[in-house]
């Protein structure tokens, strides 16, 4: 393929009619496909079906003899904390096991911080005038939605391929109203990138003007590899401690995309002071978590090797779907200059940088052809992509055949939108 930008006006017109014809043919199939949200597919959930019979009749005592059926133990069972401690990179006594949603824990931490402050706060964040968060973008729409809900200002910073632009982060953190930052350090949503050692060291050492600055370290995809390589990143708690900021990181994770998305267990891990702070507020909210589910997870996954084996089974199901998307994008778009896209080694998304100014048009074209995509702009704070270029593709939920069909259509939409934009540009500059 030649670069669209290099085509003569008649060549561009010819390409436009041929791509339009391919798009029309795709549309006429009347498909109904959904690539909007990063949900596990039913066959992935089936991998954990044995859990539905666990912990089993009569099995409800923890190793310490607690009755899992009853109230209590807000921090979570010792064996569940011990199992996930190495995965989270925190000693078991600094791990809290919550119920089924890490997003709920993040939400609660924001609310507690706003109402009460965190260790090191001079006052609650809500009394700070206009608290703000650094938001690497493109990023996770639900992170941004929590901040928007509570009126916390969002300050986007670009992603570089190895984490956020740290020069920009360092400048923003010099403002004392900047209280925190979202980080998805491994297989970031949606770019799939892994924060480099240098990025993580700079985040730990960041000279934040706010003494109560927090990294909301959402390691949602810590064990979600798409290749044989199990990429590791530096331990954020240890890095922060070494840099003299022992209370800086709040770690979050869950088994939503390990076991059952609606019935997993979620984790909060941090410094001893932060864990005490969290449990103090959480104890007003709940008498204790679902410990039978915690036992169920221990019985089913057993140990870190068990988690890894289970994630390998997920990988076998979803890696071909990621490959199918990459294959279609490559076949239709390579060399055209219409888009760049990621080749993630883990996580749940492929991020596409389409031609500037065309993402909304791509979503519209895809919708008309029966392919639902995440709304353009969703990966940016306030839903506003300044370049109207980012598309988040979520290939896990549809079947492989559906992913193949949808990717074909999406690639054509990206190409057609790029050609349309070029034709307008050409007409305007003529
Ligand atoms: N964090 C990130 C980065 C995610 O992508 C998701 C799910 N899409 C979540 C958190 C949600 O996690 P949970 O199911 O534990 O609430």
Residues 63-100: pLDDT tens digits? 999 999 999 999 999 999 999 999 999 999 999 999 99
Name the residue of 106, 218, 221 whose CB sits within 8 Å of the most ligand 1 atoms, as the mutation to test its pocket.
Answer: 218
Position in ligand 1 atom list of the atom nearest CA 256: 14
Looking from the CA of residue 184, the nearest atom of ligand 1 is 3
Q: Residues lining ligand 1, CB < 6 A? A: 38, 101-103, 140, 184, 189, 218, 220, 254, 256, 266
ipTM above 0.90, yes or no: yes
Residue minimizing CA distance to atom 1 of ligand 1: 220
d(CA 93, CA 426) in angstroms, rounded, equals 63
Nearest atom, ligand 1, residue 140 CA:
3
Residue 334: its pLDDT value, please? 97
Q: How much is the mean pLDDT over the chain?
A: 97
- The stretch 388-401 carries a mean pLDDT of 97
Give the strand order in the sheet containing 339-341.
339-341, 350-354, 390-393
Positive/negative CA dihedral, 139, 145, 148, 150:
negative
Pairing of strands 371-373, 33-35: parallel
Question: Rounded to the nearest whole angstrom, what is the distance from the C-alpha of residue 63 to the centroid of ligand 1?
Answer: 30
Concatenating the DSSP letter of every residue in 394-424 gives --SSS-HHHHHHHHHHHHHHHHHHHHHHHHH
Task: Kindly provide the residue ranges of all beta strands, DSSP E only, lying in 170-323, ordered along the sequence.
Answer: 178-183, 214-218, 249-254, 266-269
Q: Round to whole Å and give the CA distance between 179 and 2.
A: 47
In order of their start, the domains of the chain are 4-44+308-429 (3.90.1150.10), 62-301 (3.40.640.10)
How much is the average pLDDT of 354-365? 98
Cα-to-centroid distance, 254 and ligand 1 (Å): 8
Tell which atom from ligand 1 comes closest to the C-alpha of 104. 16
Of the pLDDT bands very low, low, confident and very high (cuts 50, 70, 90), residue 428 is: confident
- Return d(Cα 182, Cα 200) in angstroms, integer: 13
pLDDT at residue 170 is higher than 90: yes
Number of C-alpha atoms within 13 angstroms, CB side, residue 21?
6
Spell 345-354 as b/e; 16+ CB within 10 A means b.
bbbbbbbbbb
Rounded CA-CA distance 321/74 in Å is 39
Residue closest via CA to ligand 1's atom 2 equals 220
pLDDT band at 2 (very low <50, low <70, confident <90, very high): confident
* For residue 387, pLDDT beyond 90: yes
């Amino acid at each position: 393929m030649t670069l669209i930008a290099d085509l003569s006006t008649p060549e561009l017109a010819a390409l436009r009619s041929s791509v339009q014809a391919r798009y029309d043919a795709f549309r006429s199939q009347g498909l109904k496909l959904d690539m909007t949200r990063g949900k596990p597919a039913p066959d992935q959930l089936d991998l954990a079906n044995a859990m539905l019979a666990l912990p089993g009749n009569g099995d409800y005592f923890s190793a310490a003899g607690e009755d899992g059926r009853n109230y209590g133990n807000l921090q979570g069972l010792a064996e569940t904390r011990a199992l996930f401690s190495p995965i989270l990179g925190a000693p078991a006594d600094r791990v809290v096991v919550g119920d089924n949603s890490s997003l709920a824990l993040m939400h609660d931490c924001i609310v507690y911080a706003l109402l009460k402050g965190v260790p090191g706060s001079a006052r609650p964040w809500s009394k700070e005038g206009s608290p703000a968060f650094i938001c690497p973008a493109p990023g996770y729409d639900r992170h941004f939605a929590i901040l928007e809900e509570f009126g916390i200002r969002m300050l986007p910073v670009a992603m570089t391929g190895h984490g956020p632009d740290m020069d920009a982060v360092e400048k923003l953190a010099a403002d004392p109203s900047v209280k925190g930052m979202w980080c998805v350090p491994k297989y970031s949503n949606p770019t799939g990138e892994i924060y480099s050692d240098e990025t993580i060291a700079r985040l730990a050492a960041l000279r934040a003007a706010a003494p109560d600055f927090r990294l909301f370290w959402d390691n949602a995809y810590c064990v979600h590899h798409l290749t044989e390589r199990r990429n590791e990143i530096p331990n954020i708690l240890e890095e922060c401690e070494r840099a003299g900021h022992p209370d800086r990181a709040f770690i979050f994770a869950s088994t939503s995309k390990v076991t059952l998305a609606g019935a997993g267990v979620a984790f909060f891990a941090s410094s001893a002071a932060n864990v005490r702070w969290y449990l103090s507020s959480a104890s007003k909210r709940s008498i204790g978590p679902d410990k039978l589910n915690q036992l169920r997870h221990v019985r089913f996954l057993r140990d870190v090797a068990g988690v890894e084996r289970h994630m390998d089974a997920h990988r076998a199901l979803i890696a071909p779907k990621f490959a199918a998307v990459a294959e279609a994008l490559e076949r239709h778009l390579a060399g055209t200059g219409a888009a760049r896209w990621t080749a993630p080694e883990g996580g749940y998304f492929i991020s596409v940088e389409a031609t500037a100014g065309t993402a909304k048009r791509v979503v519209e074209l895809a919708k008309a052809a029966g392919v639902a995509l995440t709304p353009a702009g969703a990966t940016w704070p306030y839903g506003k992509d300044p370049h109207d270029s980012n598309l988040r593709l979520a290939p896990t939920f549809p079947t492989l055949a559906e992913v193949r069909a949808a990717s074909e259509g999406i690639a054509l939409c990206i190409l057609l939108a790029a050609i349309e934009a070029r034709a307008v540009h050409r007409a305007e500059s003529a």
